[in-house]
């Protein structure tokens, strides 16, 4: 393995892999992430209405998703775009959990909203734009809920783990890392999926790692193939955008799968999940700092 990795990542001692803690399991409601199962989180980018969310919840649950993802507070690139339903959206998410049993993941953008969102969410999402919002990360340390930490769009893996360390230092080690694509010179896709991030993070950190192919690709036709890639490199799960009528979606419709597209993707993933188990055995073993490669 790369000898640089030890000093580079082992300084984040609460999230780095050690002999004592090689892998950790994060519990979101009754769902275990990092425990061996490939856990899929799915749903619309934004909660738009009760009907839209409940229909999506039923469809993704039937296809095998374990968590329902929907944004009630939306960080949008444009100030003129739909910003989410706020607390109304949280109430709709709660109703979907009651009706389907799916655990809920939703984004928190501000430290002021942490307590409110923790009442509704089983997993608190930190979006790419907030990865280095330390006031938010510190507050999430005491929120009593696990955190889904998305990689900043221009963040290195070292910076991602540094942010995870901030949450952990403030009292919360229940953290899931998410590779969601990074900014590069490429413009054919919305972001560049850094697929190597998965085995590197699985080597240097004990935290579960999931992949978001939707925000990486920006177009729905690439989502199934990137999901396969995520499984093959050993990810612990996926975060996928699904919408009843993607062309009418208020946000991220171009990358959202239809119900049928999601079902087909889930069915077709099966053979790749078998490869995933073999890939995970290829992850290099850490050596003691200063030790031989």
Binding mask 62-101 for ligand PEP (x = CB under 6 A): ---------x---x--------------------------
Residues between 176 and 195 with contacts to ligand PEP, criterion CB under 6 A: 180
Distance separating alpha carbons of residues 77 and 58, to the nearest angstrom: 30
Site membership for ligand PEP, residue 208 (CB under 6 A): no
With CB atoms as reference, the residue minimizing the distance to ligand PEP is 127
Least Å from the CB of residue 153 to ligand PEP: 7
Cα torsion 226, 217, 24, 60: sign: negative
What are the helix (H) ranges across 149-287? 157-169, 197-204, 213-217, 223-232, 259-280
Pairing relation of β-strands 39-43 and 31-33? unpaired
For 59, the token pair is: 């469809």
Residue with tokens 């919360």: 172
Pick one of 26, 28, 45, 207: the residue that binds Mn ion (CB under 5 A).
45
Least Å from the CB of residue 174 to ligand PEP: 19
Site membership for ligand PEP, residue 215 (CB under 6 A): yes
Alpha carbon separation from 13 to 19, 77, 137 (Å, rounded):
12, 34, 17
Pairing relation of β-strands 67-69 and 175-179? unpaired
Q: Which of residues 244 and 284 has its CB atom nearest to ligand PEP in the complex? A: 244
Site membership for ligand PEP, residue 44 (CB under 6 A): no
Residues that bind ligand PEP (CB under 6 A): 45, 71, 75, 127-128, 150, 180, 215
């Amino acid at each position: 393995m790369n000898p640089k990795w030890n000093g580079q990542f082992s300084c984040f001692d609460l999230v780095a892999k050690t002999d004592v803690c090689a892998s950790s399991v994060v519990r979101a409601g009754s769902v275990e992430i990092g425990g061996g199962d490939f856990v899929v989180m799915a749903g619309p980018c934004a909660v738009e209405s009760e009907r839209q969310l409940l229909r999506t919840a039923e469809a993704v649950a039937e296809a095998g998703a374990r968590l329902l993802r929907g944004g009630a507070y939306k960080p949008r690139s444009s100030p003129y775009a739909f910003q989410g339903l706020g607390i109304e959206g949280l109430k709709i998410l709660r109703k979907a959990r009651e009706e389907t049993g799916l655990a809920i993941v939703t984004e928190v953008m501000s430290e002021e909203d942490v307590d409110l969102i923790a009442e509704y969410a089983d997993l608190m999402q930190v979006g790419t734009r907030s990865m280095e919002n330390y006031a938010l990360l510190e507050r999430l340390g005491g929120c009593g809920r696990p955190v889904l930490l998305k990689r900043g769009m221009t963040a290195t893996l070292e910076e991602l783990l540094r942010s995870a360390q901030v949450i952990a230092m403030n009292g919360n080690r229940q953290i899931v890392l998410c590779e969601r694509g990074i900014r590069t010179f490429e413009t054919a896709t919305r972001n560049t999926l850094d697929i190597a991030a998965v085995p590197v993070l699985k080597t240097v950190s004990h935290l579960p790692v999931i992949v978001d192919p939707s925000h990486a690709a920006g177009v729905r036709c690439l989502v199934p193939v990137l999901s396969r890639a995520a499984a093959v490199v050993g990810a612990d799960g996926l975060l996928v955008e699904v919408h009843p009528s993607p062309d009418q979606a208020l946000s991220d419709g171009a990358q959202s799968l239809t119900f049928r597209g999601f079902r087909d993707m889930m069915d077709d993933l099966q053979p790749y999940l078998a490869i995933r188990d073999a890939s995970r055995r290829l992850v290099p073993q850490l050596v003691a700092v200063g030790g031989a490669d």
